[in-house]
Structure 1
Amino acid sequence: MEIKTFLSILKKRILTIIFVSLSILILVISGSYFFVKPTYQSMENIVVGQLNKENSEYRETRELSMLLASTIDFIKSPSVLNAASEEFNSTYEELSDQVVVQNTMDSQIVSVVVRDDSPEEAKKIAKFIAVTTEKKMADLFDVKDISVLSDSVGNPSAQRVDHMLVNIGLGLVVGILVGIGTAVMREHFDDSVKSSEQIEKKLGIKVYGTVHLKKKVPKKKLVLEPPIETTDYVRAENKKGGEMRV
């Protein structure tokens, strides 16, 4: 499709694009406000090994890397998540989707990120998983150089991660794209001819005039003529013996 043709379609179907865009935008705003629950994120940090190398048992980089990888895997293991599911009346699958483990390269800090529609629940789950990981790693594997980093209050903070303005922006962009697609599809499946320019373009002939067949004449301008008495006219012609023509 040529750019000029595409722009002409957009200009021709501008009302369709506006209607579809506004409809999708209204649906996104309504859904975000009334049906979609807000999402809160809480983070708890775990330190693997001692940051002070002189007091650390794991002075070798390889041993520390193995301990770090083991801790990351252990956080989302059934041993930890099953304990959390019993504590918060949730399933293993739900907690596995809520919990995300993050670790920056060459860092001894492992972050436990939990997302939930309740800020208090997200903070409790993050705190419980971090403390349970620390305790089980010490009990099962006799790991001492692992500890939970907590703030001064003792509980992790929770922040809202979904934003209304972002949803509105995405809804507007999606609405415009869907509106443009709808306009192009309507133009593609519309086989009717609406202008003389289309006839000249498709048939290659010059149009010298148009007849507006759909033009309605106002009722006030209609003049009703009296009906012709066909019977008297035929009799008059027959009396004269002439030929009757219609």
Structure 2
Amino acid sequence: MVAEARRRRIAGADRDRAAFIAAMGISRELDALISTVKFERLHVLTRPELYRFGIDTRPLAETTWRLEKGARPFISKIAAVKKESDASFRTMEWRLYCENKKRVPLMFAGEIDASAAGKKTILIAASADMSKQAGGPPVRFGKYEVWNGAVDPDMVKAVLASHSLQVRETTPEPEGRADVTSFNIDTTGLASVWTQLGTSCTSVATGPAKPWPANSLQPTPWTDNPWTAGGTLPNASATPAATQSP
């Protein structure tokens, strides 16, 4: 009797869950996944699963800008961008470091799109003044690509005055053509975090002086972000490249 009552309760709970998922417009694939996860185990939905199940169908999901304090403070934003070829996502990160000799180090890092062929170029432009651009060909480190550079005060002002930054990836194709992919990342909150970075940089500057870069870039593991992309970013200590002219 007890076992039968328990079976009926579980069956009723399964029906209620399935009905709720359907009412929310979420794919029944989620219900099928739930039935395979044991009670004592934890399954965190990945960004591709959120998209595939219809829970969050944004092609671009991004964090807010945040300040990372330490020996070399920086501000960063992480985004997961859907690939055009399938339902998978690429995780990317942008960082701005303390100003050095009126130049601000800027770093971009992202997972390499295995489906893309050819050497790409990455450019970032400020929406307030699209002539203000930075970027170039990234360097590959395993399954990641990294671009290190530095921008001038005018570029920083344009970025802080912008509502978004346009990211444009260009990959050459045969016959002189090019495959261009672009998307915008939000700059909401960037100005206030930039001010906080300035305070942190001033505090660090009171310590022993060290030439830039004081140490290799050691990005925070991406497992700290909401999409749990596996692995850590590579160390990159390349000399900053010159900012490209528009």
> Does the TM-score normalized on the shorter chain lie above 0.5?
no
TM class by shorter chain equals under 0.3
Q: TM-score under structure 2 normalisation?
A: 0.24
Q: TM-score under structure 1 normalisation?
A: 0.24
Structure showing the higher helix proportion among its residues = 1
Greater Rg by CA? 1
